[in-house]
Amino acid sequence: IAVSEALTKCPEIQFLDLSVNNIGIEGAIAVSEALKQGSKVQHLDLNHNNIGIEGAIAVSEALTKCPEIHYLDLGLNNIGVEGTIAVSEALKESTKLQHLNVTGNSIGDNGATVLSEALIHCNQIQELNLKWNEIGDVGAGALSEALRNCTPLHFLLLQHSPHYSRKTSLKSHSHYLHSPPGDSQLVKPTHAVSGSEMQDTL
């Protein structure tokens, strides 16, 4: 809450990292209220804060007031499908977004499908982290269509999605899709990458 009060006095701030601070729902709402006053924030990191669905909804409302946002990290926050729906709606206006992390939020196929609808509008996206989200064939298919023409994308993480079958395919991009060094092998998708190939390499 103290941080949110400070934010109202710093309208020019562009980089805000509150990751791993356990701010919870109340903190997320407070920070969001401050950002809604008019913000130039470009980098917003709320990773691992247990903001939940209510916090995600509050953040989504703030995002509509942050037109310059290009980095958003909501990983490990238990936002679920409902929170993902709210954030996705806001992201439709975040045309400058380049990095999105929603890892470990149990968004499943429904969340991935809704997020895909938003990503169609985020044609500047370069890095997308969706691992540990139980995304299956339906969600992977929706992502495939949404990212079809996203040429800037070079970093895509889908590890640990046990319901993702070998029959699913993600459309190829002209850039590398890979994971961090030591986490997996590098994939150069010169053709459509099959589900089995993605599981072997991601």
For the four alpha carbons of 163, 156, 98 and 96, in that order, the dihedral sign comes to negative
Write out pLDDT tens, residues 161-177: 655 444 444 544 333 34
Q: Report the largest interatomic distance among the alpha carbons of the chain, rounded to a whole angstrom.
A: 53
Q: How far is CA 36 from the centre of its chain?
A: 20
Q: What is the per-residue pLDDT for 1?
A: 65
Q: What is the per-residue pLDDT for 38?
A: 82
Type of residue numbered 107: I
Write out pLDDT tens, residues 101-123: 999 999 999 999 999 999 999 99
Write out pLDDT tens, residues 54-94: 999 999 999 999 999 999 999 999 999 999 999 999 999 99
* Distant-in-sequence, close-in-space partners of 167: CB < 8 Å, separation ≥ 6: 137, 195
* Integer Cα distance of 183 and 64 in angstroms: 34
116 membership: H or E segment, kind and range: helix 108-119
* Mean of pLDDT values over 26-31: 97
User: How many angstroms separate the Cα of 127 from the Cα of each of 2, 50, 68, 157, 180?
Assistant: 31, 23, 17, 8, 12
